[in-house]
Amino acid sequence: MELMFTNLQLTGTLPPEPPRYAFAERVAAVAEAGATGIGVTAAELDGIPDGATHQLLDGHGVRIVELEAMFGWFDGDTAPEEALFRLAETYRVPRIKTAVLLIPPAGAPDPDVLAERFAGLCDRAAAHGTAVALEPVVVLPGFGHAAAHDLIRTVDRPNAGLMFDAWHVFRDPSGPSVAETVAARHVAGLELTDGLATPGPDLMDDCVNRRMLPGDGEFDLAGLLRTLRATGAEVPLSVEVLSAELRELTPREHAARVVAAVTKVLEA
């Protein structure tokens, strides 16, 4: 199955805690479950010799599909980029994920400045042979799907697109409409996850602890996938079910349950 597990899916922890399970164990679990891709942070990957990582990935038939995460560019800080770009070249990683995280009381940067800085990021990424996936993070205020879509269209770089995380799509009033109107060239992928139609009183807790396996909740995941595919985009599929319950499972058990759930959604 052409399915990618995001970095947080199998670590057994949430930042800033280090992963409970080693990268090698997670790669093996992804392969055993029948998936082909995994995401990882630059910090973790930097701690493993290149040769050992190549041997691990090749031995399991798994690719690093995504590096997390590129922050700081929207404030003008490009220093963290060097490590990510080097790793993207070394492992031929097709995309680096980023977001505009506006932690209160921070406000959104000037739109023209933001567009200039994002365009610069995309151009620097292109020089290293990788793309930039911009994910709206609506658990924080100020930069939902409408704002992210405006930025992507303004910059309109061939290596830049929106990453649609289903949790954020269905928690953002502008999410579904952006999915309906986005151009195929601006779709970086879809992260499958599920949840109740109405979140609990603590939105952050709902986001990082109470997501559900695809098909177990009330999100119209099949409809969202059909909508994005109707644009003509290929829509690479990832899974990001941030769940306190799933984090208690071993990577092997965790990955197997996820793939079984995703298979049912795709069949729908």
Average pLDDT over every residue of 96-108: 87
Average pLDDT over every residue of 180-202: 97
DSSP 106-167: --PPPHHHHHHHHHHHHHHHHHTT-EEEE---TTSTT--HHHHHHHHHHH--TTEEEEEEHH
Tokens matching residue 36: 């082909």
Q: What is the pLDDT of residue 268?
A: 83
Q: Are strands 160-165 and 237-239 parallel, antiparallel or unpaired?
A: unpaired
Residue 35 confidence (pLDDT) above 90 = yes
Q: What is the pLDDT of residue 79?
A: 86
Q: What is the pLDDT of residue 107?
A: 78
| Number of domains present in the structure of the chain | 1
Q: What is the pLDDT of residue 126?
A: 98
Backbone angles phi, psi at 37, to 5 degrees: -135, 155
Cα–Cα distance between 165 and 135 in angstroms, integer?
7
Q: What is the CATH number of the domain that holds 225?
A: 3.20.20.150
User: Where does the pLDDT of residue 141 fall: very low under 50, low under 70, confident under 90, or very high at 90 and above?
Assistant: confident
Q: What is the pLDDT of residue 104?
A: 80
Full-model pTM: 0.96
Residue 106 confidence (pLDDT) above 80 = no
Average pLDDT over every residue of 121-135: 98
Region of poorest pLDDT, from 16-25, 73-82, 126-135, 142-151 = 73-82
- Find how far residue 33's CA is from the centre of its chain: 20
Cα–Cα distance between 141 and 135 in angstroms, integer?
14
Backbone angles phi, psi at 242, to 5 degrees: -80, 110
Tokens matching residue 244: 């306190």
Which range of residues forms the domain containing residue 183? 3-267
Instruction: Write out the E strands in the chain.
Output: 3-5, 37-41, 63-70, 95-98, 131-134, 160-165, 187-192, 237-239
Q: What is the pLDDT of residue 41?
A: 96
User: Where does the pLDDT of residue 123 fall: very low under 50, low under 70, confident under 90, or very high at 90 and above?
Assistant: very high
Nearest Cα to Cα of residue 99 among 188, 16, 182: 188
- Per-residue model confidence as pLDDT tens digits over 38-73: 999 999 999 999 999 999 999 999 999 999 999 989
Average pLDDT over every residue of 13-18: 95
Contacts of 161 (CB under 8 A, 6+ apart): 131, 132, 133, 134, 152, 185, 186, 187, 188, 189
200 residue type, one letter = G
Mean pLDDT of all residues in the chain? 96
